[in-house]
Structure 1
Amino acid sequence: MHARSTTLMADPDHLDAGITDVRDSVLPAVSEMDGCVGLSMLCDRDSGRCIVTTAWESEAAMAATSEAIRRMRERAAEEFGATAPEVREWEIAAMHRLHAPGDAACARVTWSRVDPATIDRVLDVFRTDLIPRMDEMPGFRSLSLLLDRQTGDNSLTAVYADRRAMEASRQRAMYIRDEFRRRLHMSATEVAEFDVALHHLRVPELV
């Protein structure tokens, strides 16, 4: 499984119009493409930062859509009042769902970098240690890990039932995250929190 993420810095005043456009135009069009397994969208309403992620059955299916997605991306950027979207392509290394997210869901995303030679160990610790500990968090919904095996860049997204659950988890999640990083010699580059504006990923459990 693979994913393409597009990050836009939207004009906050255009955010609702942009979300509507992605929901009503982009999502149906992408869903009809061969190999598509869904779309999700995260938004920070204060800053206007949005991350739209499409998931694909294979790297080949993702590559085959690049031109069509580029045109949609340009149109969406206009709707959001955004310029120069950042695009990344990833392997979906792991996906774990304890519960469906729900319309009030929020997400905490941690971007990190690790030595590519240690990726198999990272995945092992993710499966055997991180997932069981996250399952115990009140309000926890799902955990996914996107990975670039060449650079070691990765994106870990934890989804919670709502803003209150995410905020209540912050201290405990920070402790787990820091322990995870030290154990695996990972360098965290950024942590950010978002509303889950759209949750239409159909990626199966991958652990």
Structure 2
Amino acid sequence: MFARSTTIMGDPTTLDSGIAYVRDEVMPALMAMDGAVGLSLLCDRESGQCIATSSWATEDAMRASDLNLRPMRERAGELMQGTPQVEEWDALVMHRDHHSGPGACCRATWMRFDHGTMESGLDLYRYVILPALEELDGFCSASLLVNRELGRACSTTTFDSVEAMEASRERSWAIREQGVRESGVDVLDVAEYELAVAHLHLPELV
């Protein structure tokens, strides 16, 4: 499975228009394309940052979709008054305890792997970090996207509510620190988001 993320740092006052555009226009068009699996949208209402992630059955399908999706990305950037930044990923891990509902939130962690430790880092995520995340109250799901060429990864954990996400911060920090110590991974950034569109539809990948 493969994924493409589009990040826009926009004007917070434009977020509702951007969310509506992605939900009502981009998602139906995307889901009509060959190989499309789903779409999610994360939003930070304070900063104006939005991250739309599409999932694809094959790398060829993801690449073939770009020509048709490019004008939609540009339109989303115009609506939200920001410049779209695009990254492509291998979707290596997806685990759901249950599907998210209204009010769900996400914590995203961006990491950099040393190429020599990437495989051991991925094993640590699957067999140590993921089981620990699953024990957090309000846990819905967790995913791991990896760009092997750049040595980058993004882990996203979804919670039932903002209260559950906030209550998990201390324990999540400890889990993250354990992973950093044992795998040599550099944590680049951590951010929390509203889950505005929840249709990524990746299958179970562990």
Within 2, Cα distance between the matches of 1:77 and 1:42?
15
For structure 1, list consecutive stretches of 5 or more residues without a partner in the other structure: none
1:16-165 matched pairs, under 5 angstroms? 16-82=16-82, 84-165=83-164
Identity %: 48
Equivalent residue number for residue 191 of structure 1: 190
User: Which residue is 2:7 aligned to?
Assistant: 7
How many corresponding residue pairs? 206
Secondary structure in structure 2 of the residue aligned to 1:65:
helix
* Local SS of the residue matching 1:103: coil
- Contact 2:3-2:89 within 8 A present in 1 as well: yes
Q: Give me the TM-score of the superposition, normalised by structure 2.
A: 0.98
**1:89 positional shift:** 0.5
- How far did residue 118 of structure 1 move? 2.1
Looking at structure 2, the residues matched to 193 and 39 of structure 1 have their Cα atoms a distance apart, in angstroms, of: 18
Question: Aligned to 2:150, what secondary structure does the other structure show?
Answer: coil
- Structure 1 Cα separation of the partners of residues 153 and 172 of structure 2: 17
Please state whether the residue corresponding to 1:137 is helix, strand or coil.
Answer: coil
Q: State whether structure 2 residue 133 is matched by structure 1 residue 167.
A: no
* 1:80 to partner: Cα distance: 1.4
Compute the displacement of 1:119 (Å): 2.0
CA apart distance, 1:81? 2.1
Could you report, residue by residue, the CA deviation over 1:55-107 in whole angstroms, capped at 9, with x for unpaired residues? 0011111000111111110111112122x211100000111111111111100
Q: For residue 132 of structure 1, what is the amino acid of its counterpart?
A: P
What is the Cα deviation at residue 135 of structure 1? 1.3
Which deviations, in whole Å up to 9, do the C-alpha atoms of 1:128-182 show, x marking residues without a partner?
1112111111001111001011121000101111100000000000010011011
Which segment is superposed worse, 104-113 or 125-134?
Answer: 125-134
1:204 maps to 2:178 = no
* Amino acid of the structure 2 residue aligned with 1:48: G
Does structure 1 conserve the Cα–Cα contact (< 8 Å) formed by 2:117 and 2:184?
A: no
Cα deviation 1:185-206 (Å, max 9, x = unaligned): 0111100000000000111000
Shift of 1:117: 2.6
2: CA distance, partners of 1:30 / 1:151: 26
Which aligned segments of 4 or more residues in structure 1 are displaced greater than 3 angstroms? none
Which runs of 5 or more residues in structure 2 are unaligned?
none
Tell me how far apart the structure 2 counterparts of residues 171 and 202 of structure 1 sit (CA, whole Å): 29
Q: In 1, Cα distance between the equivalents of 2:13 and 2:185? A: 37
